[in-house]
Structure 1
Amino acid sequence: MKTLAISTLTICGIEELPGNSAREVTHVLSVLDPDRAEIEAFGTYGEHHRVTLRFHDIIDPRPGQIMPAQEHVGEILRFGEGLRDTSAVRVKGHLLVHCHMGISRSTAAMMTLMAQADPAEGEDVLFERLREIRPQAWPNSVMIGFADEQLGRNGRLTEALRRHYAHQLAVQPKYRSWMADLGRGREVEMAL
């Protein structure tokens, strides 16, 4: 199946952006911290369409930080609609989704786009595809919850996220302490 009607999908972190400049990226979804300066690496990219969202990678409110919100996921879905609407005029395309490290917000955004593009596809299959694109994926659970709701997946995306987290803990045990240290222990508990 041709997910997102685009030929190449990439997820990365900010430090990896310069290495993707020669890869003919046509579409970029940037998910950044609100106070992050503009990223200079995109100056070396060819012509591309880019949308930037700004919120923090948190799952519980913290003073002075912006939680992922329904509106952010709505903007991701509008970005996906734009990909679909322009697919007829594209010979090929390369979508790059990034956040700070390419692990949480960007993987949640890519999962949202994949679930939107393939509404009949099983959620576990979508998470398998996500791991093929970005093996270290640990999608932000708040974002996935909003996507689940907005896409009418009736909790199935969130349940598949639990199984995905369990898979990730089995293959990358360091995530258990790493996520707990980042204030994401609730996500680790989801896997248990």
Structure 2
Amino acid sequence: MHRIPIQMLTICGISELTDQRERSVTHVLSILDPDHPDPEAFGAYDPHHRTILRFHDIIHPIPGMILPAPNDVEAILRFGDEVTDGRAEQAEGHLLVHCHMGVSRSTAAMLTLMAQANPDESEDRLFERLVEIRPQAWPNSLMVDFADELLSRKGRLTEALRRHYGRQIQRIPNYVQLMHDLDRGREVEMAAWGRLTNH
């Protein structure tokens, strides 16, 4: 097992980026809506390695919106490789992943990076660690599906996501209405199944 060679992992939303500027961020993965301006907060950060991806936080096609695609998750994995390759020059570091709210796209991306760096770690433990980093995590299910396939997790990451959703619904009940409002009812259905299998 080998962990991401970074000492600190952070997930946040755009409004929280200014709070991180004094925390010696060394690597940033930005996931933005296609038409969102680049956040100005990074101008105050110390020099860092940054990758920017642009797609919407949706899980099925919606006219006028850009769906996450396998190549987006492939780009996340390439970013993970770059973090690993840079470990000699960044023995200690701070990896920041953000999206608009720090709830869905960014948590799916961080989960992907942790699963990539820790191929022998159980899927449920990966989700436990994710919640330790970002308690409100509700990873985009489509991104997790792509990560599952690309990392050869054979469906286990998606099954663990169902259980994670089930736990999150118990912890944060208003996510049920929120996800329906966002046209992501399929994830709520996944959560219902996950609650039945949590023990």
Please confirm whether the aligned pair reaches a TM-score higher than 0.5, indicating the same fold. yes
Residues 28-47 of structure 1: matches in 2 within 5 Å? 28-47=28-47
Residues 6-155 of structure 1: matches in 2 within 5 Å? 6-155=6-155
Measure how far apart 1:2 and its partner are: 6.7
Q: Does the Cα contact within 8 Å between 2:165 and 2:188 map onto a contact in 1?
A: yes
SS in structure 2 at match of 1:62 = coil
Superposition TM-score, scaled by structure 1 size? 0.98
Per-residue deviation, residues 24-74 of structure 1 (Å, max 9, x unmatched): 000000000000011100000010010000000000100010000000000
SS in structure 1 at match of 2:138 = coil
- Residues in 1 aligned to 2:77 and 2:145: alpha-carbon distance in whole angstroms: 14
CA RMSD of aligned residues (A): 0.9
Q: Does the Cα contact within 8 Å between 2:2 and 2:117 map onto a contact in 1?
A: no
Residue 13 of structure 2 aligns with an amino acid whose one-letter code is G
Per-residue deviation, residues 71-121 of structure 1 (Å, max 9, x unmatched): 000000000011111112223110000000000000000000000000010
Q: Post-superposition, which runs of at least 4 consecutive aligned residues in structure 1 deviate over 6 A?
A: none
SS in structure 2 at match of 1:78 = helix
Gaps of 5+ in 2: 193-199
Gaps of 5+ in 1: none
Superposition TM-score, scaled by structure 2 size? 0.95
Report the identity percentage: 65
- Residues in 2 aligned to 1:38 and 1:169: alpha-carbon distance in whole angstroms: 32
